[in-house]
Structure 1
Amino acid sequence: MSDEDFLREEIDAVEHQAAKRIDPGTGALTISIAVLALLVSLILPWVGEHTGLAVVLGESELFLPRLFSYLALGVGVLGSGITLAVRRWGLAWVCSLGLFAGSIIGVLSIWTQQTTTSNKTVGPGPGIGLIIAAIAVIVLLVKWVKIAASRPPQL
């Protein structure tokens, strides 16, 4: 193998590795702030007197807020942190899809707290923490979709 062929293979290998990586740029700051907002929302009320942390730990028997809390923490906090650390394009899409599901479930969680008919009295309503968490998940969704979709096409 000539030096020219070896150099071409090495350049192709580097190009192939670079194509798998993302560069979040200034979006990383927005993602970090949204993750911080998700973490702060855990100490605020979500459902009635239950905080977000209580919902995560299962103290609330409501299914949708609990599912939303798992998605928000799993994909929003853990997934975003891992994806920012390793900067892989595939993980950016995984975050985007997980946050899409999380944003729908978050909005449904807020809606079910406002329109509950299972009680004789009016439902507890969504807490400020649930609303902040849903907004943070939607912000994360927008940023990850923008980052994941910014990959240049393969030649």
Structure 2
Amino acid sequence: MLSKPEGADESRHEPTKSEREVLRRIDPGSRALVIASVMLVLVLCSLLPWAGGAAGWQVLMGQTDPALKVGLLPRLFAINSTIVGIGLGALALITRRWIVAFLAGLAGVVVTFEGVIAIWSRQTSGVESPSIGLLLAVACMAILAVQWMRIVWSRD
């Protein structure tokens, strides 16, 4: 039978409960201010026009003029950017849990691509091109996704 070298048990260390708790938490540091500021700009984007004269909150609630032919993609982006960008982002900042921050980053990437497709759908609709609110909201989601992924992968 093979014998273990002396010290083999000492080098293999099981983390204690408090060490596991520390590994589950994040410290966003100064990025928290950037994230909170971008979340505020994302909220303000809902007041700006997204398609023609329709504001972001109108797209979100489905109360746009039918003549604008807003369609599903901008509305889906409005719903998901609100849930992920504001809701999940706030939850990650409050709880400071690694898994919530990871989900905010990963979902932020997906919602950013949804936003790019929403812009494309507005450009090809033939009615109204995307307005400043939609463009700014997509940029905010891209910034949020990058910031969350940087926090998740930093693990200082």
**How would you bin the TM-score normalised by the shorter chain?**
0.7 to 0.9
**Residue aligned with 1:21, SS:** coil
Preserved CA contact (<8 Å) 1:35 1:136: yes
Give RMSD over aligned pairs: 1.7
What count of residue pairs does the alignment treat as equivalent? Answer: 139
Q: Which has the larger displacement, 45-54 or 59-68?
A: 59-68
Counterpart position of 2:33: 29
Pairwise CA distance, 1:123: 2.4
2:53 aligned with 1:44: no
Pairwise CA distance, 1:151: 2.6
**Residue correspondence of structure 1 range 40-79 to structure 2 within 5 A:** 40-60=44-64, 61-79=70-88
Preserved CA contact (<8 Å) 1:110 1:126: yes
Give me the whole-angstrom Cα distance separating, in 1, the residues matched to 2:75 and 2:124: 17
Structure 2 runs not aligned, ≥5 long: 1-13, 65-69
Preserved CA contact (<8 Å) 1:47 1:127: yes
Counterpart position of 1:88: 97
AA of the residue aligned to 1:33? S
Q: TM-score, length-normalised on structure 1?
A: 0.84
Larger radius of gyration: 2
Runs of 4+ in 1 over 2 A off after TM superposition: none
Give me the whole-angstrom Cα distance separating, in 1, the residues matched to 2:79 and 2:155: 29
Pairwise CA distance, 1:14: 1.1
AA of the residue aligned to 2:52? G
CA deviation vs aligned residue, 1:120-147 (integer Å, no higher than 9, x gap): xx32000110011000000000000111
